[in-house]
Structure 1
C-alpha cells in the first residue's frame, strides 16, 4: 500500500530521485544558510570594538557566549515540541512554513541592531527552528515509504544541502557582515530564509497530500489505545519519576535564563551562593543530578536486554555531551581567537594563492548546486513555475554577491582573510571526506561503536592540540598575537574528521538499540545531550579572556585537548563492556 501511495513522487525524477526531494534540499539549504550565516557573525559583532568603521557592541566574551550558549541549547530542545505538534496537530508542511516565517522575522529583528530587537529576534529564531528542524526529514521519510532502498541516497543528497547552505551562508553573511555592515549580514540571512519559505510554499503541488494535517481514524485510535494486543511489559512513570522530571525541568529553565541575565545585564535572579557555587551553577548542578537519578531509577526497571542497550546508549550520550562541548568552540571562542590572535594579512604570492583558493572553493560548489537547480527547473517548471522563479532569483542574488566579493578582493594588493572564512572549512572538509567515511563504514573494516567514539574524540582533541602548540609562546595576559593561519586550518580539518567519526553515530545507534515504543523518550535524551554540550561549550568558552589572562591561551586550548583524548581512551577501555551491553548490535 505504501509503495502505491508514494510511486507518484518518482514520476518526475532529478538525478534519479523525486523532484520533491530537491525542493526540500533547497529549502533546507536556505535555512542552514540563514542559521550558520547569522551564527558566524554573532559573537564577532557582540564582542567587537565600539569604535571603528564597523563597530560592534564590545560585550565581554563571557556575556556574548552565554547568550549564544542559551540560544544553541534551546535550538536543540524546541524541535521536540515542534515535531510533536506537526505529528499530531498541524502537519509537517505547515510546520515548515510557520517555522521559516518565524525565523525570517527573527533575522529581520536582529538586523535592527538594538538589544531589545536582538533578544526578540533570537526568541523568534528559537521558536521557528522548533517548527522547522524536525519536519523536513519527516517529509522525506514519508516520501520514500515503500522505497527503502533509495532512502540512504536521499538523505545523503539532503545533507549535502545542509552543508551547502552552511558553506554559502557563512561565506556570504560573514563577508557582508564584516566588510559592509553587521545589520546587512543579519538581514541577508533573513532575505534567504524568506525566499526559501516562499520557494517551498509555492512548490506544494509536488507533494500532494504528503505532510498534510494528520487525520486520525477510529481504527488508528483504537489501535493506539488497545494495550491488550501487546505482550510487552510497559515501564510506567512513577510519582518519583515525575518529581525528578519536574525538578530537572524547573532547575534547567532557571539556569538557562539566569546565566545570560547575570552575565549580560548583571541581573541576579536569586543572588545566592551554595558551597561556593553561584545560583546559576547551583541550578545547573541540581538539573544534572536530578536527570542522572531519573535515568538510574528508570532504566533498571526495563527487561534485561532493553536495560543493557539503554545503558549503552546513555554512555554514548555522555560522550556526545563532551564532544559537542569541545567541537562547538567553532561558534564561540574560535572566532575570538581568529580575530585577536591570528595573522590574517597576506601579501604578494601568499595573497594571490589565497585568492585562487578562495575562487575555487567558492565557485566550484556553487556551480555544482546551480547545475542541480537547472535540473530541477527542467523537470518541474510547468508544475511549480513560481517556486522555480523565486529559487532562480535567490541564485541570481547569490551569484551577484559572490562576483562582487571576488571583484573587491581582486582589486586589492593586500588581502585580509575574513574572520568567518575559516568557519567554511568545516562544511568544505565534510563535502570532501564524507564519501570516504561512508565507504569505510560500509566495508568489512567498519569499526565498532566504542572505536568510532574513540576516534572522534581523539581527532577532536588533536585539533585543539595544534592550537595549543601554536599558542605556546603567547604570554599570559596577552590580548593580541600574530599566529599562523595554518594552526586554524589543521584544527578545523581534525575537528571535521572527528565529527565524521562520531556525529552520525547517535541517531544510528538510537534506531538500533532502542525499541520503537521508547524511541521518543531516548530521542529526547539524545537531543538533550547535544543541547547540554552546546551550552557547556559556550559556558566554558566564555572564559577564554579570563583563562588567557590568568594562565595562557595555550592552557585554554589544552583543556579541550586533554579532556576529549582522555574520554576517547575511556571509550576504548569500555569496549568489552559496551559490546556486552549492546547484545549483538553492531
Structure 2
C-alpha cells in the first residue's frame, strides 16, 4: 500500500508542494533549536563572567572548568540519541519519543533559569536526556512520511534543516540579547518558554499525522529484532566489548568535570609505566579506544571484501570528522570568550546606525518569510489542528514583540555594544545564504569526490582560524581581558570561512552512512558517527578551555594557530588519501 493511499488526508493538505505535517515538524524543530542554541550560546559566557564589576555578573568560573562541563554536556548530546532512537523503535514510537523528549527539555530549561549550581547540573542532565529522545526521532518521522516517495525526501530534508537554522539564528540572537542586556534568567527562561510552546504545538497537531510515528506493533518489533540478529548477530565477545567501552567512555566523560570542578576523581590520576608517569584518564580512554577499534574491525571482517572496504572508508571519514568538530565547536567556548574579552564591540554614531540597519534587515526579513509560511500552514490546516496553529501564532507574536522591542531599544540608543551572542548567529545566517549555492555545485559536473569535499571542509576551517591568528596578533602574551581589543571583522570573516567549511563536510558524512554501509550495519555505524562527533565536541571544549593558560604562557595567536594547523594538516591528508578512498568505495560517489 502506498504512503499516499494509506494517509490520503495527510498528502492532500500541502504547503509549498509538501505535506502540511512537514511544516509542523519544521516549526517543532525550529523551537527546539531556538531553545538549544539559545542556551548553548549563553552557558560558557555566563559561567565565566566575573561575579562583580560587570553589568551582568556571572559565576566567575575559570575557562578550564567551564570547558570541562560544557564538553561533557556536548559530548553526551550525541550519545544519548543512540539510546533514544532504540527506545522509540522498539517501545514508544517516534511521536511519543518527540513529546517525551521535548517535555523533559522544557523542564531542563526551566531548571537552568533558577541559577543555582544544583539546578544548573540538574537542568543540563534533563537536556541531555530529552535530546536523546527528541533528536533522532524527528528525522525518523520524516523518513516514515516519505518512505514511498523517495524522490521528495531530499526536498523535505532541505526544508526541515532550514527550520533548524532559523531556530538557531533567532534563539542565539534573542536569548543572547535578553541575557546580556536584561539578565541571565531572562535568556535561559526564554529558551524554556519556546520549548514549552513548541511541545504543545506538536502535541496538538497529532490528528494530522494519522498512524505515522505511532507506537510500533509487537509483531513488527519482534520481526525487526529477529531480522537484525539474523543479519549480523552480536557475539558474546562483541557484547562484552560494547559494555567495557561504554563504561570506560562514560567514566572518562564524567571524570573531566568532576575532577576539575569538584576535585572528585573516578579514574586513577596517573599510571607509572617503566618509571614514566602517565596521566590516568588518558591511559584509560586509550584502552577504551583500542577495545572499540577491536570491536569495529572484528565486525567488519565478517563481511565480503567490497562491503568491508566501503566500511573501512567510512571509518576514515569518521576519524577525520573528529578534527573538524574539534575546531568548529570552538564557537561555543573559546570564540565566545574571544568575542567578549578581546573584540571591540562598542558602537556609536554612523557605525551604530549601519549596524542597527543591517541587524534589522537580518532579523525582520527571515522572520517575515517564516511568518508567511505559518499563514500558509494555517490556511491548509485550520479545520484540523486549530489549537496547534493558535499556539504557533502565540509563538510568533511573542517573537515579533521581542524583535521589535530589541530593534527599538537599539535604534534609540546613542551608543551600544554588540552582544557576544550576536557573532554566533552568523553561522546560521551564512548557511541560509550559501547552502543553495553548494547544492548547485554538488549537482553540477564539477561535483568533487567525498574525500576532496572533506579535505576542502577541513582546509577552509583552518583558514578561518588563520584569519583569527592574524587578527589577534596585536594581543600580547598575558593580556588581561578587556585591555586589548581587535576589530570584529576578523571574527565575522572567521565565521564565514567556518560555515563554508561546514557546508563542504557536514552534509557529506551523514549521506555516506547509507551509501557505504549495508542496511544491517547502519544503526551501528550511525552510533559510531555520533561517537566521533561527541569526541570532537569533548576535545573542542577541553582545548578551548585552555585559552586563558595559552594566552598567559604564549599569546592569542598561538592559541588560534593550534586550530589552524590541525585541520589544515588533516585536510591535506584526506585529499592525499583520495585515490585510496576511491578504491575502497568501489564506485560509490
Q: TM-score, normalised by structure 1?
A: 0.97
CA distance in structure 2 between the partners assigned to 1:471 and 1:513 by the alignment: 42
Deviation, 1:239, is 4.2
Tell me what 2:408 maps to. 407
CA distance in structure 2 between the partners assigned to 1:581 and 1:226 by the alignment: 28
Which of 234, 242, 248 does residue 251 from structure 1 map onto?
Answer: 248
Question: Is the contact between residue 72 and residue 531 of structure 1 (CA under 8 Å) also seen in structure 2?
Answer: yes
Which of 150, 154, 157 does residue 155 from structure 1 map onto?
Answer: 157
CA distance in structure 2 between the partners assigned to 1:195 and 1:58 by the alignment: 33
Tell me what 2:394 maps to. 393
Give the secondary structure class of the aligned counterpart of 1:346.
strand
CA distance in structure 2 between the partners assigned to 1:356 and 1:283 by the alignment: 53
Segments of structure 1 that go 5 or more residues without pairing to the other structure are none
How does 1:507-526 map onto structure 2 within 5 Å? 507-526=510-529
Query: How many residue pairs align between the two structures?
Result: 581
How does 1:423-572 map onto structure 2 within 5 Å? 423-480=424-481, 481-572=484-575
CA distance in structure 2 between the partners assigned to 1:258 and 1:388 by the alignment: 45
CA distance in structure 2 between the partners assigned to 1:478 and 1:414 by the alignment: 26
Moved more, 135-144 or 557-566: 135-144
Give the secondary structure class of the aligned counterpart of 2:286.
helix
Which of 183, 186, 191 does residue 188 from structure 2 map onto?
Answer: 186
Question: Is the contact between residue 32 and residue 166 of structure 1 (CA under 8 Å) also seen in structure 2?
Answer: yes
Question: Is the contact between residue 176 and residue 187 of structure 2 (CA under 8 Å) also seen in structure 1?
Answer: yes
Give the secondary structure class of the aligned counterpart of 1:466.
helix
Give per-residue Cα distances to partners, 1:344-385, cap 9 Å, x unaligned: 012221111101110000111101101001111111111111
Tell me what 1:45 maps to. 46
Deviation, 1:415, is 2.1
Question: Is the contact between residue 74 and residue 531 of structure 1 (CA under 8 Å) also seen in structure 2?
Answer: yes
CA distance in structure 2 between the partners assigned to 1:121 and 1:223 by the alignment: 35
CA distance in structure 1 between the partners assigned to 2:404 and 2:73 by the alignment: 33
Which of 563, 566, 576 does residue 573 from structure 1 map onto?
Answer: 576
Tell me what 2:341 maps to. 340
Tell me what 2:2 maps to. 2
Tell me what 1:120 maps to. 122
Question: Is the contact between residue 268 and residue 281 of structure 2 (CA under 8 Å) also seen in structure 1?
Answer: no
Moved more, 45-54 or 483-492: 45-54
Give the secondary structure class of the aligned counterpart of 1:146.
coil
Question: Is the contact between residue 270 and residue 281 of structure 2 (CA under 8 Å) also seen in structure 1?
Answer: no
Deviation, 1:270, is 4.1
CA distance in structure 1 between the partners assigned to 2:223 and 2:525 by the alignment: 25
Give the secondary structure class of the aligned counterpart of 1:246.
helix
Tell me what 2:90 maps to. 88
Moved more, 279-288 or 452-461: 279-288
Give per-residue Cα distances to partners, 1:465-516, cap 9 Å, x unaligned: 0000111222111123211101000100000000000000111111101110
How does 1:229-268 map onto structure 2 within 5 Å? 235-268=232-265
Question: Is the contact between residue 474 and residue 486 of structure 2 (CA under 8 Å) also seen in structure 1?
Answer: no
Segments of structure 2 that go 5 or more residues without pairing to the other structure are none
CA distance in structure 2 between the partners assigned to 1:471 and 1:397 by the alignment: 39
Deviation, 1:528, is 0.6
CA distance in structure 2 between the partners assigned to 1:142 and 1:227 by the alignment: 19
Tell me what 1:211 maps to. 213
Question: Is the contact between residue 49 and residue 60 of structure 2 (CA under 8 Å) also seen in structure 1?
Answer: yes
Question: Is the contact between residue 107 and residue 123 of structure 2 (CA under 8 Å) also seen in structure 1?
Answer: yes
CA distance in structure 1 between the partners assigned to 2:71 and 2:291 by the alignment: 21
Question: Is the contact between residue 6 and residue 144 of structure 1 (CA under 8 Å) also seen in structure 2?
Answer: no
Give the secondary structure class of the aligned counterpart of 2:414.
coil
Tell me what 2:169 maps to. 167
CA distance in structure 1 between the partners assigned to 2:373 and 2:104 by the alignment: 28
Deviation, 1:140, is 1.1
Deviation, 1:225, is 3.5
Change (3 A) 1:103 1:351: same
Tell me what 1:298 maps to. 299
CA distance in structure 2 between the partners assigned to 1:124 and 1:483 by the alignment: 38
> Once superposed, which parts of structure 1, at least 4 consecutive aligned residues long, lie more than 6 Å away?
none
Deviation, 1:213, is 0.6
Question: Is the contact between residue 254 and residue 280 of structure 1 (CA under 8 Å) also seen in structure 2?
Answer: no
Deviation, 1:16, is 1.1
Deviation, 1:278, is 3.1
Tell me what 1:65 maps to. 67
CA-atom RMSD in angstroms: 1.6
Deviation, 1:100, is 0.5
Give the secondary structure class of the aligned counterpart of 1:276.
strand
Q: TM-score, normalised by structure 2?
A: 0.96
Tell me what 2:317 maps to. 316
Question: Is the contact between residue 112 and residue 119 of structure 2 (CA under 8 Å) also seen in structure 1?
Answer: yes
Deviation, 1:149, is 1.6
2:32 is equivalent to residue 35 of structure 1: no
Question: Is the contact between residue 6 and residue 145 of structure 1 (CA under 8 Å) also seen in structure 2?
Answer: no
Give the secondary structure class of the aligned counterpart of 2:78.
helix
Give per-residue Cα distances to partners, 1:21-53, cap 9 Å, x unaligned: 111100000000000000001000000010133
CA distance in structure 1 between the partners assigned to 2:172 and 2:228 by the alignment: 50
Question: Is the contact between residue 6 and residue 143 of structure 1 (CA under 8 Å) also seen in structure 2?
Answer: no
CA distance in structure 2 between the partners assigned to 1:67 and 1:155 by the alignment: 32
Question: Is the contact between residue 475 and residue 485 of structure 2 (CA under 8 Å) also seen in structure 1?
Answer: no
CA distance in structure 1 between the partners assigned to 2:514 and 2:228 by the alignment: 23
